[in-house]
Each structure stands twice: as structure tokens, then as C-alpha cells.
Amino acid sequence: MYKILKKEGRAKRAQLETVHGTIQTPVFMNVATVAAIKGGVSTEDLEQINNQVVLANTYHLHLRPGDDVIYKMGGLHKFMGCNKPILTDSGGFQVFSLAQNRRIKEEGVYFRSHIDGHKLFMGPEESMRIQSHIASTIAMAFDECPSARADHDYVKASVDRTTRWLKRCQNEMNRLNGLENTINKHQLLFGINQGAIFDDLRIEHAKVISDMNLDGYAVGGLAVGESHEEMYHVLEQVVPYLPEDKPTYLMGVGTPANILEGVERGIDFFDCVYPSRNGRHGHLYTNRGHINLMNAKYELDDRPIEEGCQCPACKRYSRSYIRHLLKSGEMLGMRLCVLHNLYFYNTMMLEIRLALEEGRFAQYKKAKLDGMMEYDSITSGTKYDIAKGWKKG
RNA sequence: GUGGGUAUGGCGCAGUUGGUUAGCGCGCCAGAUUGUGGUUCUGGAGACCGUGGGUUCGAGUCCCACUAUCCACC
């Protein structure tokens, strides 16, 4: 099912076979929270931008249209016309980042909808049932994502509860996969490591969940306020304690630099809202740095976003035109920018996989970071800080 | 030609009975955003307040002239 094809240091070139096709890793999953990539990107567009996996969200789809609707429509793949692997986030993070008035209990979390404020409850079993209805390829465990500022005692109690929740998730998933009317009886379950920035809690938790024989292991609770150095440190501490014969997933991360650092530390899966959200705001990634297309200096720039880029935006349109579309509030402007950014991320992953296969990931990583730094320092006076991402110089 | 109105950063406007470093929106510039509440948030630069006189301790605010512009009438 999961097979490592090549290793370079801790970095892995691997693949995960699923009922919806084989995922080549390292991979960046494109975020489609409500079963749509924001910015007007369609399922068929994904085929033009090297997409492998789509990430949708349990919490959002439960609220609207409702997982019962998706179940009745034959599952999310059929619903959104997608035949690729889909991973669903469990709703755990959203309960903590979006919902109002949440109360955490042993059984789960009581909270209010961010859409209309009505009362809701979600626990491990609820999350698994919803994800089973959605019938995603990979389901994520329902966890608590404590604040990066939470103290050791709180995080300790939280992690212990997340472990108990994980066991309940696993039991419920096994039960659901065995039911006659379940759409995807081979749904995979990834567990999530927590522990904030406390090495002892992170490692202890990693050991416990590693013994549970899950289909994959995620590192959660990062990129939520801690420094990049702390994030990389946690990865260095935790990944060695996760099973090597299972895929790893760094949740919600991140910048191109974060991803390169994550791959180096043994991560297979990534996801982040950056390429889509930043694309909508005209913030574009290129091999030589990032540009903000909204800037006046691009008004008469007839070059593509990036010279030589093979994405749908760059093959045909100029910076000047796309900037005009963004300025005018035209949907097409956002769409082209999001397509470009996702293409950039997905293509970078392709390059990373190729570099790993050829045993030159270290050189690739350095060249990629150097390239991005070079351009940005020339055009906008900023420098690329490997540890911290883009930073004013 | 006559009567009336308006002239404040690139554009559109606020500026109380004249009183400390003249505000706002858009635009511009720069940040922010990491398991996404769909065009957000936070900063910054930029004006000798049409020109020239006058009144006053003090004028974007009052008076006069000029210039520009708008409306109405002849």
C-alpha cells in the first residue's frame, strides 16, 4: 500500500496506493474546503496543473450542503466529478479556529456554527460518520489543536484526550468500513500527533499512536503561532518516532521553504491555503521569488507571471492583463492567479520527487531557495530567509 | 454680458460659531495571512488648503480683487 521508492537522508520519495489511484509523494494537496477550490477553479482545471490530491473539509461540508446530501448523491467523488484521491480534514481544527462558544468535553466538542450560530456537537464518532458519508479516500482523526501558547499541563491533558479520541476514531472507522451500505469501504485513517512545542509530549504521543497501526501519521498543531525554528525542531524530534513504513503528513504547511524543509525532515504530505488565498490577493509565487501583481509597476508589464511557466495563465496572458482583471474585480483574474500558484506548488513537488529519485534533493533545495532569494532581492528589496519565509531585508 | 455656486494631497470629498502637528474614501507603497468565514486586516508616503492682498494674537474657515470651473438668465 505505502512504499518507499528512494531515500535521501530522512527525505523520502514514496507512493501510497488507494482505491482512487496511487499518490506519488512528496505531494502537496490542493485545498478545496467546501468541495471547490476558491477562485473558480474546476475539477477539470486540476488536470492541467499537476494536481494529485484534493483536500476537503468535514466541518464545512457537514454544515453545507450536509453530509447526508453528499451521501445520497453517491459520495464526494461523484458529487464533484472528481476521480482522484480526496483527503478530508476531520473538523477538529475548524472547531478550534472558526466555531464560536466551544466547550470541550470528554465526549467531544460543543460549539456554534460559524454560518448561522446554531448549536452543534462533534466528537470522534460524529467526525468519522460524516467522513464516511463523504466517502473520502483518506479520513483524518478528530483531534484537539491546542494553542501554541498553551502551558505544559493543559497540552498534556489535551494530548491524552486526543489519544483517547483517536482510539474511538479507529473503532468507529473499522465499524463503518464494514457496513454494507458504506460507499468507500477502504477509507484510510490518518492519526494526528499533537503536543504543541513540548518535546516530551510530542515524542510520547508519537510513540503511543505509532503502535496503533494507522494508515498514516500527521503532525498537527504547527504553523499556529510558533516560530519556524520551533516547527522544524518539532519535526526533527517527532518524525523519527513515527513508523517509517507509513506516510507522514505535515498539516496546514506551508510556504515553499516550509515544504522543502519538511521534505528534508521526512514528510510526505502537505497542504496549505497559501497558494489559493494568496493567489486571490494577487500574491504570486515564481521560481525567482514572489510578486504582488497589484503593484503599479506591473501595469504595462507584458511578460507572463513567470517566463517559461507552462500554467494556463502564463501560457497565454500578460501580467498587465491579469493585473487589470484583479483590479477590476473580475473572477477571471483570481482564477488565473490561483491556477498559477497551484501549478507552481504542484510542479515544485514534481521537481522534488524527481530530485529525490536522482539523489540530488539537497542541491535542488538549495538552488530553489537561492533562486527565489535572488529575484526578490532585485525587484522589491526583500530577502528570503530560509527559516522564516519571506522577510523584509 | 448678468446673477449664483465651487475652488482642500493623483481623483472624489469632510472640515463645527476662525484656535495646538488639516481629516476621510479611492488610488499608490509596504507588511500580515500556514488542517481557508471569497475579495480581508495593519501600517506608510503624499497637500505651502486656486492666486494676490486685507482683518485678527491667530484664517482652510471672515473681507476684497483676480483666475479657473459649473449652473441659470440675457
Helix/strand/coil (H/E/C) assignment for every residue in A29-80: EEECCCCCECCCECCCHHHHCCCCCEEEEHHHHHHCCCHHHHHHCCCHHHHC
Start and end residues for every CATH 3.20.20.105 domain found in chain A? 2-272
Beta pairing partners, A30: A54
pLDDT at A101: 79
CA of A327 to C1' of B61 (A): 38
Q: Is a pLDDT exceeding 80 seen at residue A384?
A: no
pTM score > 0.90 for this model?
A: yes
Q: Is a pLDDT exceeding 80 seen at residue A3?
A: yes
* Span A344-357, average pLDDT: 97
A89 is catalytic: yes
CA nearest neighbour of A275 among A296, A305, A245? A305
pLDDT at A392: 27
pLDDT digits (tens, 9 = 90+) for A259-297: 999 999 999 999 999 999 999 999 999 998 889 999 888
Residue nearest to nucleotide B36 (CA to C1'): A273
Give the architecture (CATH level 2) of A2-272. Answer: Alpha-Beta Barrel (3.20)
pLDDT at A329: 87
Q: How far apart are CA A11 and CA A26, in angstroms?
A: 9
* Strand B nucleotides in reach of protein CB atoms, 7 A cut-off: 27-40
Q: In the structure grid, which three cell numbers stand for residue A156, read together?
A: 498534556
* Span A64-92, average pLDDT: 96
Mean per-residue pLDDT over chain A, rounded: 92
- Neighbouring CB atoms inside 10 A of A253's CB total 22
Q: In the structure grid, which three cell numbers stand for residue A301, read together?
A: 508589464
pLDDT at A116: 85
CA of A282 to C1' of B12 (A): 26
Q: Is a pLDDT exceeding 80 seen at residue A375?
A: no
| Backbone conformation region of residue A389, classed left if phi is above 0, alpha if psi is from -120 to 50, else beta | left
Q: What are the distances in angstroms from CA A90 to CA A32, A56, A261, A282? A: 14, 9, 25, 30
Beta pairing partners, A111: A120
A116 is catalytic: no
Burial call A359-386: b when 16+ CB within 10 Å, e when fewer: eebeebbeebbeebbebbeeebeeebeb
pLDDT at A97: 84
| DSSP 8-state symbol, A254 | -
Q: Of A96-100, A115-119, A212-216, give the lowest mean pLDDT range.
A: A96-100
Contact A4, A12 (CB under 8 A): yes
* Span A26-45, average pLDDT: 96
- Neighbouring CB atoms inside 10 A of A189's CB total 22
Q: Which helix (H) or strand (E) holds A6?
A: strand A2-8
Sign, CA torsion A256/A260/A261/A267: positive
Catalytic residue among A45, A268, A271, A376: A271
CA of A24 to C1' of B62 (A): 79
CA of A333 to C1' of B38 (A): 13
Specify the nucleotide whose C1' lies closest to residue A294 (CA).
B28
Q: How far apart are CA A175 and CA A117, in angstroms?
A: 32
* Span A80-100, average pLDDT: 91
Catalytic residue among A45, A89, A143, A376: A89
Q: HSE on the CB side for A282, CA within 13 Å?
A: 19
Specify the nucleotide whose C1' lies closest to residue A254 (CA).
B34
Beta pairing partners, A370: none
Q: Give helix A228-238 / helix A199-210 axis angle, nearest 10°.
A: 40
Q: Is a pLDDT exceeding 60 seen at residue A1?
A: yes
Q: How far apart are CA A14 and CA A356, in angstroms?
A: 10
Phi, psi torsion values for A167, nearest 5 degrees: -65, -40
ipTM above 0.90, yes or no: no
Q: Of A110-124, A163-177, A339-353, give the lowest mean pLDDT range.
A: A110-124
